[in-house]
Amino acid sequence: MDNNTTTLLDLDGLAVERVERLTDGTRRVHLITADETARACPSCGTFASRVKGLVRTRPRDLPYGERGLELAWLKRRWYCHEPDCARKSFTEQVPQIPAGARITARLRRAAALRVRDAGSTVVQAARDLHVSWPTVMSAFRTASREVTDAELPGVEALGVDETRRGRPRWEQDPDTGKWQLTRDRWHTGFVDAFGTGGLLGQVEGRSAADVLAWLSTTPLNWRTNIRYVAIDMSATYRAAIRTGLPHALIVVDHFHVVQLANKMLSTVRRRTTAEVRGRRGRATDPEWKARNRLLRNREDLTHEQFERMWNPLLDEGPIGQRLLTAWIAKESLRTLLALARTSADREQIGHARWKFLTWCADSDIPEVTKLAATSGRRWWRV
């Protein structure tokens, strides 16, 4: 028995007897049982003293090197001499290789962690570790319960957002003949917005009832510790948070606010092109060529890029003037949002908000006015 090789293999309860190299280059490691508790009966715990026979198994383990290792465990089958025990015989087992297992526990654990923690797919983990898809999926389900059954970490800022997952599924009620939605393509996710808790939960659907149903499963003291809730500009989520977490302050993240402004600018561009040119935009139109640069931040554009975008647009007359008005509204909103990172006082924020609302009100563009009503008044905490 090679103690150094046993330590290198690091399979608790087993010892390496010898290692041989096969004709194809694979190394076969011959193992014997080194744990005395392996001869204890799994049913009654009585230590056996009479050997019934020998059994050779070849459990698979983590891959080593390019060609890997092949394990060959020569274990004993024992008689259980306890009269009251229903088990008459049993084979040796160790925690890393339970009775009947074809792969080691650490291989199963490694497969599960690749999917749960490393973001690997089940198929890729099965290919890398040379196991089957059902084996990896079963290990992942077991490992995922450690996360789902664990207590929720303390959260001060809760993030709520929707995500699209797959396609909806409809089934027909055999009694009424009506079609019912049995699987929603939209899911609602709950995350730790500031801390390291990550994904806290996910439910099917994106209605207020779905959000409240998940919140009802959380402890009351956990909900009372939440001070902020970050959401997109969804009235449904806002209504759910005001009902389920009335003490929390609702915060709209800047990404969705700027996204709303960019959508406004694209809508103005398409509508103006249709009104002035009487058709959809074409690749030869200046506003079509500048459609992507219009959505970029001003500080991300060089002076030359800025001139190449606006000079042809302003030469178009009404189209350029209307787009410039909408673009200034978007940038004014970004300037207002940027004050959150400068520790500005209430007077500075109020002045920037007044400039944004005044510009939008004087623009006489429906999309710009709607942006001001949504972001500057309806979602603004006075």
The pLDDT score that the predictor gives to residue 382 is 47
- pLDDT tens digits, residue range 57-111? 999 998 887 777 889 999 999 999 888 888 889 999 999 998 888 999 999 999 9
**Neighbour-count burial for 356-379, b at 16+ CB within 10 Å, e otherwise:** bbebbeebebebbbebbebbbeeb
Is there a single domain that holds both residue 332 and residue 343? Answer: yes
The first and second tokens of residue 294, run together, are: 């219009």
Is there a single domain that holds both residue 193 and residue 139? Answer: no
The pLDDT score that the predictor gives to residue 73 is 92
Rounded to an integer, what distance in angstroms lies between the CA atom of residue 318 and that of residue 344? 37
Residue finishing a domain among 121, 148, 175: 148
Rounded to an integer, what distance in angstroms lies between the CA atom of residue 319 and that of residue 273? 7
What domain range is 274 assigned to?
Answer: 254-378
Is there a single domain that holds both residue 284 and residue 210? Answer: no
**Amino acid (one-letter) located at 193:** A
Please state the domain count of the chain: 4
Q: Is the pLDDT of residue 294 over 70?
A: yes
- pLDDT tens digits, residue range 227-270? 999 998 888 999 999 999 999 999 888 888 999 999 999 999 99
CATH code of 235's domain: 3.30.420.10
CA dihedral 203→209→211→212, nearest 10 degrees, is -120
CA 67 to chain centre: 34
Rounded to an integer, what distance in angstroms lies between the CA atom of residue 250 and that of residue 231? 7
Is there a single domain that holds both residue 259 and residue 374? Answer: yes
Give the predicted TM-score (pTM) of the model: 0.64
Is there a single domain that holds both residue 336 and residue 225? Answer: no
Position 23 confidence tier, pLDDT thresholds 50, 70, 90: confident
The pLDDT score that the predictor gives to residue 2 is 63
Position 132 confidence tier, pLDDT thresholds 50, 70, 90: very high
Is there a single domain that holds both residue 305 and residue 374? Answer: yes
Is there a single domain that holds both residue 93 and residue 117? Answer: no
Residue finishing a domain among 252, 274, 299: 252
Rounded to an integer, what distance in angstroms lies between the CA atom of residue 260 and that of residue 330? 9
The pLDDT score that the predictor gives to residue 381 is 64
Is there a single domain that holds both residue 364 and residue 266? Answer: yes
At a CB cut-off of 8 Å and minimum separation 6, what does 6 contact?
14, 15, 16, 34
Residue finishing a domain among 234, 252, 270: 252
Is there a single domain that holds both residue 346 and residue 279? Answer: yes
Q: Is the pLDDT of residue 15 over 60?
A: yes
Is there a single domain that holds both residue 274 and residue 239? Answer: no
Rounded to an integer, what distance in angstroms lies between the CA atom of residue 233 and that of residue 24? 63
Is there a single domain that holds both residue 131 and residue 192? Answer: no
Q: Is the pLDDT of residue 119 over 70?
A: yes
The pLDDT score that the predictor gives to residue 139 is 94
The mean pLDDT value for 212-235 works out to 92
Is there a single domain that holds both residue 171 and residue 76? Answer: no
The mean pLDDT value for 325-342 works out to 91
The mean pLDDT value for 353-361 works out to 92
Per the prediction, the chain carries an average pLDDT of: 89
Position 165 confidence tier, pLDDT thresholds 50, 70, 90: confident
